Structure 1
C-alpha cells in the first residue's frame, strides 16, 4: 500500500489536469465556466489526489477535514451533492487506473483495490456530511425565538437551560468554551469564524452586537481547545478572550465572565487570543489596573519617562534578558547585538530603577512591572524628555 500512496503523492501535479478533464467530460457541473473556473477544478483535483493519498496512508483526520471544507465551498457555489459524489467516483476510477498502469504484482493490486474503494467511501461520507451540515445551517430558524435564546444563553433570563438548548440545537452536557471579542469600528471581532468552524464539523452559536460578539463552541476529541485558539488567532481583528473548559450549559454565564476577563488581559490594540487558564498574572493586572499602574510607575517610571526610542530599547532588552533566564549572552543573540551592549543597557535599567539585577526580589518586581506595562499598554503612551 505504501507504493500506491507514494505513487499518488508523487504524480499528483501530473495527474490533476488529466483528472480535471475527465471529470469535466462526464459531469456537467464541473465543466469550466458553469459553476467553477478551469483553474478551480484543477486545484480541486490536485487536493483530492493528495487527500486520497493521506487517507490511504491512514492519516485521515486532516484530509477528511479539508474534504469537508472543500465540499462546503462547492455547495455554496451551487455544485449539487450528486455532482460532487459523481466526481468522487470518477476520481476513484481514475486513481485505480493509474495504480494498475504502474503496478503489475497481483497481490499488491488485490490489496490496493479493496483499500482504494474503502477510501472513496470515506471521502464520499465526508462530502455528504458537509452538505448536510450546510443545509442544516441554512434552514435553522433565525427567528425572534432564536435571538431570545441566544440572549438567555449568555445573559440569563427566565428561560431554562433545556429550552435554550432545544432552540439552539445544543447538547445540555458536553465540552464547551465561551469566546468573546470587542468589535472596533464596526468590524467583526472574528471574521468568518462560524463558517470556518462549521466546515470543520464544529458546532458553535454566536450572539453578535454592535459592540462585540460572544460565542459558545462545542469541543470534541477531534477538535480541542488548542486547535480552536489557532482558528481564532487566524481570524481575530481585535483581542479575544477564551474561557476555561466547562461541561454544562448552566455554566455559560460564569464562562462568559472568564472570557471577558481574559480579553481584558490582552494587550490593547493587539489581536491576541488570551486563554483564562493561561493568563493568571495578566488577569490580576486587568482586575486592578489602577494599583498595577502605580506599581509599574514606581518601578519603571524613570525608564518610561525617557524618549520613546530609548525606553523601548531598554524595555526590550530587559524583556529579552528575563525571557532568556537572565543570560546576557542569550539575550544578545535574541536581540542581534553584542553582549557588552546588553550589559550596558541592563546597567542603565538597574541605575534608573534602583533595582539590583542580582537580587531575586528585585528581579521579580521588574518582571511584574514589565508585565503590567505590556498588559496596560503603558509603553505606548506619550513619553517625557530624555534623561
Structure 2
C-alpha cells in the first residue's frame, strides 16, 4: 500500500492500517446507502433550514452516499485524505443551496454532522475487529486524523464552491434586476405586469423610494450587507409587504418599500425616528421620496429620493440622518440649476449670505423665525435660545438686508432655505 499521506509512511502505522482500517473501509462501502439515509435523517432533524423539503432530502442522501463511497475507496487503499474531488451529487447540493438562498453556515455544519455519524460507525467496527488495546488505540488515532483531514478538505472545497456559485448567481440575478429597474426609471418600461414579472416584485402597490449610503467605510469592508439589513428592518417597521434593494456602488443602495395599503406621513416619520436606533453599529445616511402608487409612483418616489440625497450632500447632512423630499422639495427644485440658485440667494440676501459662522447664525435664526410665522417664542424653543436673542438676531438680519421683515417674504424664505446648500453649490 503506497500512500502520499505522511502518517502512513511509518511502517508500523502502515501495517496497522492494512490489518484493521482497510477491512473496515470495504464494509463502509457496502453500507454506504444505509448510512447515507442515517446522515440525511440527522441533518433533517438538526438543520431544517438546510433540509427543507423532500427534494432537498433526496439530494442530500445522494450526496452523502457518494461521499461515503469515496471515503471507502480512499481508506481501503490508504489514499491521501487531502486529495479530494467533490462528487457531482455534492456539487449539486452546494449549487442548489445557493439558488434556494440557504446560508453557508448550515451547509458547513452538515459536514460536521456527517463526520459524527461516520466516525461513530467506523469506531464501532474497528473495535469489533481489534481485541488488542494498543493496536485499537493506534488504529483509532490514524482513522480519526484521516477522517478529520478528509472532512476539513471537503468542507473547504464546498465552501469555495458555494461562494463562487453565490457570487456568480447574485451577479446574474442582480444584473437582471438592475436592468429591469433602469428600464422603469428611464421610462423605457411602461407595462406594469411585465415589469413586475421581471423584478419579482409587485408594482401595483404603494411604494416609498429610499436611497441609503455611507460617506466612508473601513478599508476592505463591504457595507452592502449592513445597508441591506437596515432597509429590510425599515420595511418591517412600517409593515411592508416587500422591500426591493438594488446596490448602486460600493457604499450605496437604492430601495423601494411597498405595501398594499397607502403610506401616511406617520410612516415616513417612523423611518426617520428608527434609523438612529437601528444603525448604531455603522453610520449611513438615508434619503426618502414621497409615497406613490403603481409604476408611476415607483419611478417618481425614487427620483425624489435621489434629489433628496443630492440636497443632503449639499447641506452636509449628519451621518445617521434621514432627508425627506417633502421637507426639502423647494431646495431640491431650486438647486437643479446651481447658477440660478446662487444668483437668487446672493441677490435676495446680499450680505446675509456671507460665508462666516456669525452671519450664518443670524440667517438661520431668521429662517426659523419666518417658519414659525414671526413668533419669537416658538423660534427660540426650536433653537434652544432665549426669545430676546431671537429678536436681537432678527434686528441684525434687517440691518444687513437694509429693510424690515414684512409679510411678503416668499423670495426671502426660498433664499434662506437655499443658503445651507450654497457653500457646496458648484460655481462658475
Normalised to the residue count of structure 2, the TM-score between the two structures is 0.47
Asked if the contact 2:345–2:353 (Cα under 8 Å) also holds between the matched residues in 1, the reply is no
Indicate yes or no: 2:344 matched with 1:295.
yes
Identify the residue that residue 178 of structure 2 maps to in structure 1: 151
| Equivalent residue, structure 1, for 2:211 | 180
Residues 193, 232 of structure 1: 8 Å contact kept: no
Structure 1: how far apart are the matches of 2:378 and 2:366? 12
On the 8 A contact 2:235/2:257 being kept in 1, the answer is: no
| Distance across 2 between alignment mates of 1:298 and 1:213 | 38
Determine which of 413, 418, 426 is the counterpart of 1:367.
413
Task: For 2:342 and 2:300, locate their aligned partners in 1 and report how far apart those are by CA, in whole Å.
Answer: 27
Bigger Rg, structure 1 or 2: 2
Cα shift at 1:356: 1.7
Give the corresponding residue for 2:254: 214
Q: Say if 2:250 is the partner of 1:204.
A: no
Question: 1:322: which partner in 2?
Answer: 370
- Aligned residue number for residue 227 of structure 1: 267
Q: Which segments of 5 or more consecutive residues in structure 2 lack a partner in the other structure?
A: 1-45, 47-102, 107-165, 218-222, 277-282
Contact 1:229–1:273 (Cα < 8 Å) also in 2: no
Q: CA deviation at 1:218?
A: 1.3
Output aligned runs, 1:259-338, within 5 Å.
259-266=305-312, 267-270=315-318, 271-305=320-354, 307-308=356-357, 310-332=358-380, 334-335=382-383, 337-338=385-386
Tell me, in whole angstroms, the C-alpha distance in 2 between the residues paired with 1:161 and 1:313. Answer: 49
CA distance in 2, matches of 1:153, 1:193: 23
Note the alpha carbon deviations across 1:139-165, whole angstroms, 9 max, x for none: 9x9544421332123211898764553
Gap change, CA 1:356 and 1:195, over 3 Å in 2: same
Q: Partners of 1:337 and 1:244 in 2: how far apart?
A: 33
For the structure 1 residues 179 and 301, does the alpha-carbon distance in structure 2 shift closer, same or farther, using more than 3 Å as the test?
Answer: same
Query: What are the ranges of 5 or more consecutive residues in structure 1 without an aligned counterpart?
Result: 1-28, 30-74, 79-138, 382-387
How far 1:371 moved relative to its partner?
0.3
Q: Deviations over 1:201-259 (max 9, x none)?
A: 63111111225211122124497564255235533745433333333347644443232
Distance in structure 1 (CA, Å) of the matches to 2:378 and 2:326: 29
The C-alpha deviation readout for 1:273-306, integer Å capped at 9, x for no partner, is: 3444454312222322321122222333423436
Partner of 1:345 in structure 2? 393
Report if aligned partners of 1:183, 1:210 keep a CA contact under 8 Å in 2.
Answer: no
Cα 1:277/1:340, change in 2 over 3 Å: closer
Contact 1:180 1:259 in 2 (8 A): yes
Q: Is the 8 A contact 2:292 2:300 kept in 1?
A: no
Distance 1:367 1:313 in 2: 15
C-alpha distance 255-320 of structure 1, shift in aligned 2 (>3 A)? closer
| Matched residue, 1:165 | 196
Map 1:27-176 → 2, pairs under 5 A: 143-156=170-183, 162=193, 165-166=196-197, 168-176=199-207
Q: Name 1:67's counterpart in structure 2.
A: none
Question: Do 2:287 and 2:308's aligned partners in 1 also have CA atoms closer than 8 Å?
Answer: yes
Q: Distance in 1 between matches of 2:293 and 2:105?
A: 37
The number of residues matched between the two structures is: 242
Alpha-carbon displacement from aligned partner over 1:85-131 (angstroms, at most 9, x marks no partner): xxxxxxxxxxxxxxxxxxxxxxxxxxxxxxxxxxxxxxxxxxxxxxx
Q: Which SS does the other structure have where 1:367 is aligned?
A: helix
